[in-house]
Structure 1
Amino acid sequence: MEVSLAVSLVAPFPEPDDVRAQLEGVGTRLEFLHRVLRAGEAARRTAVPNDPTGTAGRRAYEAQVRALRELHIEHEGWARLVHGRLELVCRADRSVAMGVMVGNAATGQARLVPRNARRRGVATEQVTRANAGERASHVQTALFVADAGPEGVALSEEETFALKTWFLVSFRTKVGDAVRIDCELSQPQRFEDGFVVEWGRRIPLPPLRMDGIEPLNDDGPGEIDIAVDFR
């Protein structure tokens, strides 16, 4: 009986056509978002036990951000945006931005409420407040008017307030020799003590499955010799 109840709480994923239409409204595509997750998983698998703790997760995050930006800049005309400490990509009209976030086991399940897996800071809190239509103080807003370099954008105070920020939220599960990544594209709307506790719009996505996980044993043969010139 308990198993049946648990299954009934998990809604089926939307049909691809429904997903496609919702994503078009944001300005993205399902194939882009799955490619972002695939890039992160591929980067994660380059880490080995002798790497520093957290290397796999950092590499996955960095690869996801890079792929998210490259795909949308090249194909949709978006631009890089550094918003506080958030590494995002921003639509050309500066109304929508996207980033990546690791969620919990409720990620991608339409009738459950996911949370971010790790506590996040003031930058996520501020974009959540903007999503909810809450205006931050001038001092708080000033923290987010940041330049992202020659190919990036800087937002005005009004643009910062109007910006709607989405996150590609993902949850990774190892299943035998394969990996399943549940995912959704969602807007955080309420933030408490470092965690998103309520979402505005959510678009649950079909999960991504990847096979071929190879065991990682060591850093490879031989030693690394770094020449140092003492002067």
Structure 2
Amino acid sequence: MTLSLVNQSPEPNDVRAQLGGMGTRLEYLHDTLRAGEAARRTAVPNDPMGTAGRRAYEAHVRTIRELHIENERWARLVHGRLELVCSPDRSMAIGVMVGDAATGQASLLPRNSRRRGAATDMVTRANAGEGAPSVQTALFAADAGPGGVALSDEEACALKTWFLLSFRTKIGDAVRIDCELSQPKRFQEGFVIEWARRIPLPVLSMDGIEPLNDDGPGEIDIPVDFR
């Protein structure tokens, strides 16, 4: 990513107001990204390929859940095998996604960096008001576990799903993470091609430690055949 793509960061007070209306906070989202970066840096050359990316993903999911569950009374949700955290009234959920260089730039259109599967297609259709494909409620219930929730078919169709989208790059001696909280609206051939709403977030910078391992072939999004 070149510096010419970087817009001025959004005003934190405006961002906090938008996020507060959704039941989340900027601090939770930035802390989630910090946790992922810290986990990524534990990878060493003898780890299997993709270890750094997997550890970052796992830390993102765990941290975004813990912060919302402990502070806002949200609940863990496995929805079509997407790992999410769900608001108390079950109207909204948040997941994590790796974006491209347009992430966080209000004048550009970001996309997910790697192809995703049927689960992302399902929640995007629900976001657009098309309703989710027929799903087995038992799938949600089986994976809910302690502290988790299971959605009814009605709730699944009405759920609005957002993603904490992030793009990591090395600039000099620092790691820059551009990020936004956004709601996908159109999904085509594995990629989000339109967003219903985007909230660009202030850039997060951390001391630069180059990971010793690549991200592997793709992020975790298990294809599900909804029949």
TM-score with structure 1 setting the length: 0.86
- Give ranges in structure 2 of 5+ residues lacking alignment: 214-227
Contact 2:82 2:95 (C-alpha < 8 Å) held by counterparts: yes
How far off is 1:136 after superposition? 3.0
Contact 1:184–1:203 at 8 Å: present in 2 too?
Answer: yes
2:193 aligned with 1:197: yes
- CA shift, 1:176, in A, is 2.1
1:229 paired residue number: none
Work out the CA distance in 2 between the residues paired with 1:208 and 1:10.
13
CA contact (8 A) 1:144 1:160 kept: no
Of all paired residues, the percent bearing the same amino acid is: 76
Does the CA contact (< 8 Å) of 1:130 and 1:162 recur in 2? yes
1:21 equivalent to 2:17? Answer yes
CA contact (8 A) 2:170 2:208 kept: no
Q: CA 1:178 to 1:10, structure 2 compared with 1: closer, same or farther past 3 Å?
A: closer
Structure 2 distance, partners of 1:214, 1:111, is 29
Q: Which runs of 4+ in 1 moved over 6 A?
A: none
Matched, 1:86 2:69: no
For residue 25 of structure 1, report the CA deviation from its aligned partner.
1.6
In 2, Cα distance between equivalents of 1:137 and 1:32: 31
Match of 1:104 among 100, 109, 131: 100
**Is the Cα contact below 8 Å between 1:43 and 1:60 reproduced in 2?**
yes
Structure 1 residue 50: Cα displacement: 1.1
SS of structure 1 residue aligned to 2:209: coil
Query: How is 1:60-71 mapped onto 2 (pairs within 5 angstroms)?
Result: 60-71=56-67
How far is the alpha carbon of 1:87 from its aligned partner?
A: 0.3
Pairs aligned (count): 211
Structure 1 residue 178: deviation in Å? Answer: 1.3
- Residue equivalent to 1:38: 34
1:56 to 2:52 alignment:
yes
Which residue of 1 is the match for residue 111 of structure 2? 115
Q: CA deviation at 1:214?
A: 6.6
Alignment gaps of 5+ in structure 1: 218-231
Q: 1:176 to 1:12 in 2, by over 3 A?
A: closer
| 1:87 partner letter | E
| Structure 1 residues 212 and 195: CA distance shift in structure 2, 3 A | closer
Say which of 124, 128, 136 aligns to 1:128: 124
Taking the aligned partners of 1:173 and 1:107, their CA distance within structure 2 comes to: 11
Opposite residue 189 of structure 1, the aligned amino acid is K
> Residues 215 and 149 from structure 1, CA distance in 2 versus in 1: closer, same or farther, beyond 3 angstroms?
closer
Q: Distance in 1 between matches of 2:211 and 2:125?
A: 43
Quote how far apart the aligned CAs of 1:177 are: 2.1
RMSD of Structure 2 on Structure 1 (CA):
2.0
